[in-house]
Amino acid sequence: MVQSRTAADIILHNGKVLTVDPGDSVQQALAVVGDRIGPVGSNDAIRALAGPETTSIDLRGRTVIPGIIDIHAHMDREGLKRIYPSLAGARSVEDILTVIREQVGLARPGEWITTMPVGDPPNYADVPENLAEGRYPTRWELDRAAPQNPVYIRGTWTPWNVPPSVGVANSLALELAGIDRHTQPPDSSVVIDKDGNGEPTGILIDRGRFPTLEFTLMKVAPRFSHAQRVKALKESMGLYNAVGTTGTYEGHGVAPEVLNAYKELWDRGEMTVRARLVLSPAFKSMAEAEREMERWSHSASGGGFGDEMLKISGYYFNYRGSRYIAQARSAGLPYTGWAGFSQAYNPPGRFLRLVRLAAHYNLRVNTIVRDQLDEVLRVFEEVHREIPINDRRWTLGHTRDATDGELERIRDLGLVIETIPLTELWLRGRPLVDSPELARRAAAHKTYLEENIPFGFGTDNKPYNPFVTLWSAVTRQERNTGQVLGPEQCLSRLEALRAFTLGGAYFSFDENRRGSLEPGKLADLAVLSGDLLEIAEDDIPELHSVLTMVGGKIVHRGEGL
């Protein structure tokens, strides 16, 4: 309903405005006053607010939603993916060699040729089976395409799919890396593939949860520079705006090299996505951890410190992990590669000490609990008995399977659940197909609603288009069988939208400032390419924004409006 007759700077009318207000009302028009949502209501009522300086936009029936808030975004990575040539669409070794030859034609002799992984983004699934030969190219095949240039086909960042990550180097790259028949792998999780004569084939296999090849065997390969990170981050923001994303929460943590890129864009006034960042530490000792937490407690405690565009709050601590992976990747700091975060090894005792320190300094804790929920809850409960945390919104990332008892404990601790339904249900849901009970508990969004447990969605940048993730929460299909996993947990489209808007705002302590199209809130919104409520389910993943606003400013305008 119209609240007042405040003069409007911008009017959007003749549309379908999904307000995500408490009643999920659908209106025809809204006004923007400064950086805020003004009155929302009927076409006639809102158009009456136009003045001589008002910009009026006829939506021509299009749907308007609050800006998407992606709570597991890894936004910086999308631009980074575009630095190196893609092998998407390659269906044979010869197709790959064709790309290499093209790059050689653009390079000087001796210059590195580095590509993205074998396979198709965003998941790089089903490799190398997607190639006609059913195998990766060898060093000798790459040599024929690039006899005077070192070549490195990067392995996947394994969270895009699942291990292993497989990189391929030609003979010159192996020579520069010092890899020969006598080279030993740095860990049992790494394999240097060899032919029948014991010669390395150039194929390097990393079975770790997070790959380490570029921090060990292939650390000679080109790395992302600061300038590349800044340029890529700005490009990423534009890409995210184009799919309706106006805010992110980086709950997996952000390392200093990525913080520096954000700060540079913020200094230049070039941010177009509101970013809420979580610190990714690289503590070498508990004494160092306490000193750092005490320093950050003045600015990163509670809901954090910053402005409406950039804010920092809390820490990410991983639970358990791999000692080898932590040591290998930490040796490369401040460089973090694809990760953008530091990797630590925190067995239960150390994790407890870190969490207790964070509670003492009121630093919000974020962690990932995909396979270890009960153990993490035990730690949180122990800390809660000493220092109450139930009003601090500590977060559980990549939440997959939770029993009814665990959900009760989560509610009692005031925790917030983050899920990535596209990963857990579509990409990695095959083990759930034959287990109805496990499927019911996996990413149990309806149960979260019934139990009044706050939750939100993340894309994990695979892909960054939030409507693919929203589709997964609505349909819960597994990619190989098409089976619906836990049909009783399917969300309605409006419920899924609420999780991606107000749910994300709650993660950021911003539910009173954004996440719905209500008067007085920040004017973050997207005009969609199709009607979210009416289009066929299979068309939901193709939705994008034709106009995106952040704080009343148009940050993206595509064709069709």
Tokens of 486: 């836990």
pLDDT tens sequence across 237-253 = 999 999 999 999 999 99
Average pLDDT, the chain: 96
Residues 429 and 500 in one domain: yes
Give the pLDDT score at 162: 86
- Please report, for the domain that includes residue 266, its CATH number: 3.20.20.140
Assess if residue 71 is contained within a domain: no
Distance of CA 217 to the CA centre of its chain: 27
Distance (Å, whole) CA 64 – CA 99: 41
Distance (Å, whole) CA 59 – CA 528: 10
Assess if residue 70 is contained within a domain: no
Distance (Å, whole) CA 329 – CA 216: 8
Please give the single-letter amino acid code of residue 401.
Answer: D
Tell me if 524 sits within 8 A of 275, measured CB to CB: no
Assess if residue 1 is contained within a domain: yes
What string of DSSP letters covers 172-203? HHHHHHT--TTPPPSSTTEEEEE-TTS-EEEE
Residues 277 and 376 in one domain: yes
203 beta partners? 168
Residues 300 and 392 in one domain: yes
Residues 248 and 100 in one domain: no
Nearest-5° Cα angle at 243, 241 to 249: 65
Please give the single-letter amino acid code of residue 30.
Answer: L
Domain boundary among 509, 527, 552: 509
pLDDT tens sequence across 156-183 = 999 998 899 999 999 999 999 999 999 9
Radius of gyration of the chain (CA): 24
Mean pLDDT of 289-296: 97
Assess if residue 187 is contained within a domain: yes
Ramachandran bin of 128, using left for φ above 0, alpha for ψ from -120 to 50, beta for the remaining angles: alpha
Give the pLDDT score at 5: 54
Q: Identify the three-state secondary structure at position 313.
A: strand
Please give the single-letter amino acid code of residue 526.
Answer: A
Residues 192 and 292 in one domain: no
Distance (Å, whole) CA 81 – CA 171: 25
Domain boundary among 172, 190, 215: 215
Mean pLDDT of 109-129: 96
Assess if residue 395 is contained within a domain: yes
Domain boundary among 215, 244, 279: 215
- Please report, for the domain that includes residue 544, its CATH number: 2.30.40.10
Query: What confidence tier does 3 reach under pLDDT thresholds 50, 70, 90?
Result: very low
Tell me if 165 sits within 8 A of 206, measured CB to CB: yes
Mean pLDDT of 274-299: 96
Give the pLDDT score at 371: 87
Residues 471 and 548 in one domain: no
Query: What confidence tier does 497 reach under pLDDT thresholds 50, 70, 90?
Result: very high
Percentage of residues in the chain with pLDDT exceeding 90?
Answer: 97
Residues 502 and 524 in one domain: no
With 70 as the cut, is the pLDDT of residue 6 above it? no
Tell me if 388 sits within 8 A of 360, measured CB to CB: no
Residues 324 and 179 in one domain: no
Count CB atoms within 10 A of the CB of residue 189. 19
Nearest-5° Cα angle at 411, 380 to 503: 105
Please give the single-letter amino acid code of residue 444.
Answer: A
Assess if residue 272 is contained within a domain: yes
pLDDT tens sequence across 11-35 = 999 999 999 999 999 999 999 999 9
Assess if residue 221 is contained within a domain: no
Assess if residue 79 is contained within a domain: no
Mean pLDDT of 400-424: 97
Residue by residue, what is the 3-state secondary structure of 9-43? Answer: CEEEECCEEECCCCCCCEECEEEEECCEEEEEECH
With 60 as the cut, is the pLDDT of residue 39 above it? yes
Nearest to 553 by CA among 528, 522, 530, 521: 522
Mean pLDDT of 68-87: 96
Residues 333 and 267 in one domain: yes
Length of the chain: 561
Give the pLDDT score at 1: 41
Q: Which domain holds residue 383?
A: 226-509
Give exposure, 458-482, as e/b (b: 16+ Cβ within 10 Å).
bbbbbbbbbbbbbbbbbbbbbbeee
Query: What confidence tier does 358 reach under pLDDT thresholds 50, 70, 90?
Result: very high
pLDDT tens sequence across 142-155 = 999 999 999 999 99
With 80 as the cut, is the pLDDT of residue 259 above it? yes
Residues 104 and 31 in one domain: no
Min mean pLDDT across 5-19, 51-65, 85-99, 404-418 is at 5-19
Residues 181 and 279 in one domain: no
With 50 as the cut, is the pLDDT of residue 399 above it? yes
| Count of domains for the chain | 3
Residues 10 and 106 in one domain: no
Distance (Å, whole) CA 513 – CA 551: 11
Give the pLDDT score at 84: 95
pLDDT tens sequence across 174-215 = 999 999 999 999 999 999 999 999 999 999 999 999 999 999
Give the pLDDT score at 561: 80
